């Protein structure tokens, strides 16, 4: 007869087995939680490989690539970190500390072209000197940050009316209404004008200077663009005038001389053919000025005196002359074109004959073809003007006299930021040698005295 156990015993045995199983599972869960806590603790110890100054720079200037809310948290952490450095850890006893925490108050930071409210921590001196300022709060609240952001947005095609729609707003951001953005742009663009007027060029040599004047909202803007001996383009200066006259251009060139541009070294000037520009350059640079007339302007001026049916042949004749590498042969081709024009339109012939030899200056200097193509026209400075015009084409109403100057400078500075070195810059030393040789020749000065 088999032995049987009481029912209660079987139940207790079964319950004991389940209890051991639950105990094992509970231990596993505890070990998992322990591993998770260790991993979490290790994760908290990971640090960004950036110093405080780098974080400040990121939070002030590069937050357009971050979420604005993340940038706000970074800025808040920077403020709290400064308080900790100055006052020590919270609730830590420091009998000799000079400053102590003093709560928080409402403040704001300037992030990504807007003002964002923040809880500003306060620090108070323990020596009776009152509340102390936070250096990082001052930097993050910089009034220049928002105007600069407004300037960048407006230059890149955003109107003041649409600024609020395109800026990356924080949840509680403010200061992006049309009037605020407009005031910020005025301050930032006025600062750009002042910086351009204060540029110094001491110790720099400019092999080439382009000068051109463009009508700008009813007035003339005269701009000078320099090419260094290594081929970099530099915006030299700007002058606003009612018309393109020699007095305005002369004042600009004299100012450049005062700011360090050398006028006692041979320099190639590329001009559009206006007599006011020519007169002012000779007046300031004297015998050291070598003039190159813009070939595109010359073609355009001559075409204005001809019927359309002659334009194609004129362009072919001038192109053949301007691409000639021998200056004597090129001059012969141009004089043959003058003779041809006299039979068609004496006015067109006179237009081509005026300053004819100056359109061949780069040929006479023996400049290699790649560099000669760059220096034979005023295209480099006109491309900068085209950027400025694309920026200002949205302006519907011109108000103050300096508004034209501010908008023009904002566009030109934006164009300057995209400049590349001129094509053929490796041949600039050859150009400088040719300029020295040409200026030293007595024939150039004698021709000017005769003129």
DSSP string, 203-254: T--EEEEEEEEEEETTEEEEEEEEEETTS-EEEEEEEEESS--HHHHHHHHH
Q: What is residue 108's predicted lDDT score, i.e. its pLDDT?
A: 72
The tally of CA atoms less than 13 A away on the side-chain side of residue 268 is: 36
Predicted pLDDT at 163 = 43
User: From CA 390, how far away is CA 399, in angstroms rounded?
Assistant: 19
DSSP 3-state of 396:
coil
Query: What is the reported pLDDT for 95?
Result: 72
Residue 72 pLDDT class (50, 70, 90 cuts): low
Q: Parallel, antiparallel, or unpaired for β 99-111 and 233-241?
A: unpaired
Q: What is the pTM of this model?
A: 0.63
Lowest mean pLDDT among 29-33, 373-377, 417-421, 426-430: 29-33
Rounded Cα distance, 257 and 244, in Å: 20
In whole angstroms, what is the distance from residue 348 CA to residue 304 CA? 8
The C-alpha atoms of residue 185 and residue 144 are separated, in whole angstroms, by: 10
Q: Which helix (H) or strand (E) holds 119?
A: strand 114-125
In whole angstroms, what is the distance from residue 5 CA to residue 438 CA?
Answer: 125
- What is the residue-averaged pLDDT of the chain? 76
Cβ atoms of residues 112 and 64 within 8 Å: yes
Q: Which range, of 64-68, 183-187, 238-242, averages the lowest pLDDT? A: 64-68
Name the pLDDT band for 62 (thresholds 50, 70, 90). very low
Neighbour tally for 413: CB within 10 Å: 20
Instruction: Determine the pLDDT at residue 173.
Output: 43
Over 80: is that where the pLDDT of 339 sits?
A: yes
Residue 75's nearest CA partner among 119, 105, 114, 36 is 119
Q: What is the CA radius of gyration of the chain?
A: 36
d(CA 359, CA 293): 5
Q: How far is CA 249 from the centre of its chain?
A: 25
In the chain, where are the structural domains located? Answer: 53-88+100-145, 199-450
Separation of alpha carbons 432 and 208, rounded Å: 9
Of the ranges 147-156, 370-379, 440-449, the best mean pLDDT one: 370-379
pLDDT, one tens digit per residue, over 394-447 is 667 777 667 788 878 888 887 888 888 999 899 999 999 999 988 887 655 555
Closest by CA to 355, choosing from 285, 301, 319, is: 301
For 80, half-sphere exposure in the C-beta direction (CA atoms, 13 angstrom radius) is: 10
Encode pLDDT of 274-302 as tens digits. 888 999 999 999 999 999 999 999 999 99
Position 138 scores a pLDDT of 72
């Amino acid at each position: 007869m088999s032995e049987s156990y009481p029912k209660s015993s079987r139940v207790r045995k079964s319950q004991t087995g389940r209890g051991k199983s639950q105990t094992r599972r509970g231990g596993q869960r505890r070990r998992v939680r322990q591993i998770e806590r260790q991993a979490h603790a290790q994760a908290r110890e990971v640090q960004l490989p950036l110093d405080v100054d780098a974080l400040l720079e990121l939070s002030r200037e590069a937050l357009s690539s971050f979420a604005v809310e993340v940038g706000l948290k970074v800025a808040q952490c920077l403020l709290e970190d400064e308080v900790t450095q100055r006052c020590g850890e919270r609730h830590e006893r420091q009998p000799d500390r000079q400053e102590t925490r003093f709560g928080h108050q409402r403040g704001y930071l300037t992030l990504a072209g807007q003002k964002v409210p923040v809880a500003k921590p306060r620090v108070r001196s323990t020596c009776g000197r009152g509340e102390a300022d936070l250096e990082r709060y001052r930097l993050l609240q910089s009034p220049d940050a928002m105007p600069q952001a407004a300037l960048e947005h407006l230059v890149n095609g955003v109107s003041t009316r649409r600024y609020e729609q395109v800026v990356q707003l924080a949840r509680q951001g403010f200061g992006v209404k049309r009037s605020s953005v407009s005031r910020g742009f005025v301050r930032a663009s006025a600062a750009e004008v002042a910086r351009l007027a204060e540029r110094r060029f001491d110790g720099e040599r400019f092999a080439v200077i382009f000068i051109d004047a463009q009508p700008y909202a009813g007035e003339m803007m005269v701009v000078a663009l320099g090419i260094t001996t290594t081929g970099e383009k530099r915006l030299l200066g700007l002058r606003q005038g009612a018309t393109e006259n020699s007095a305005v251009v002369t004042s600009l060139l004299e100012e450049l001389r005062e700011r360090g541009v050398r006028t006692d070294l041979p320099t190639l000037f590329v001009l559009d053919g206006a007599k006011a520009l020519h007169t002012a350059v000779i007046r300031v640079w004297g015998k050291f000025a070598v003039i190159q007339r813009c070939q595109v302007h010359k073609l355009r001026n001559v075409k204005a005196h001809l019927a359309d049916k002659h334009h194609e042949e004129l362009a072919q004749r001038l192109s053949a002359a301007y691409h000639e590498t021998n200056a004597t042969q090129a001059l012969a081709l141009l004089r043959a074109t003058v003779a041809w024009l006299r039979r068609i339109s004496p006015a067109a012939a006179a237009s081509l004959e005026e300053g004819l030899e100056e359109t061949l200056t780069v040929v006479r200097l023996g400049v290699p073809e790649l560099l000669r193509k760059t220096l034979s026209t005023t295209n480099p400075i006109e491309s900068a003007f085209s950027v400025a015009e694309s920026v200002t084409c949205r302006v519907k109403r011109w108000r103050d006299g300096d508004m034209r100057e501010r908008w023009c400078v904002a566009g030109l500075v934006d164009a300057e930021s995209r400049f590349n070195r001129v094509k053929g810059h490796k041949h600039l030393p050859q150009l400088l040698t040719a300029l020295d040789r040409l200026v030293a020749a007595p024939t150039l000065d004698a021709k000017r005295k005769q003129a």
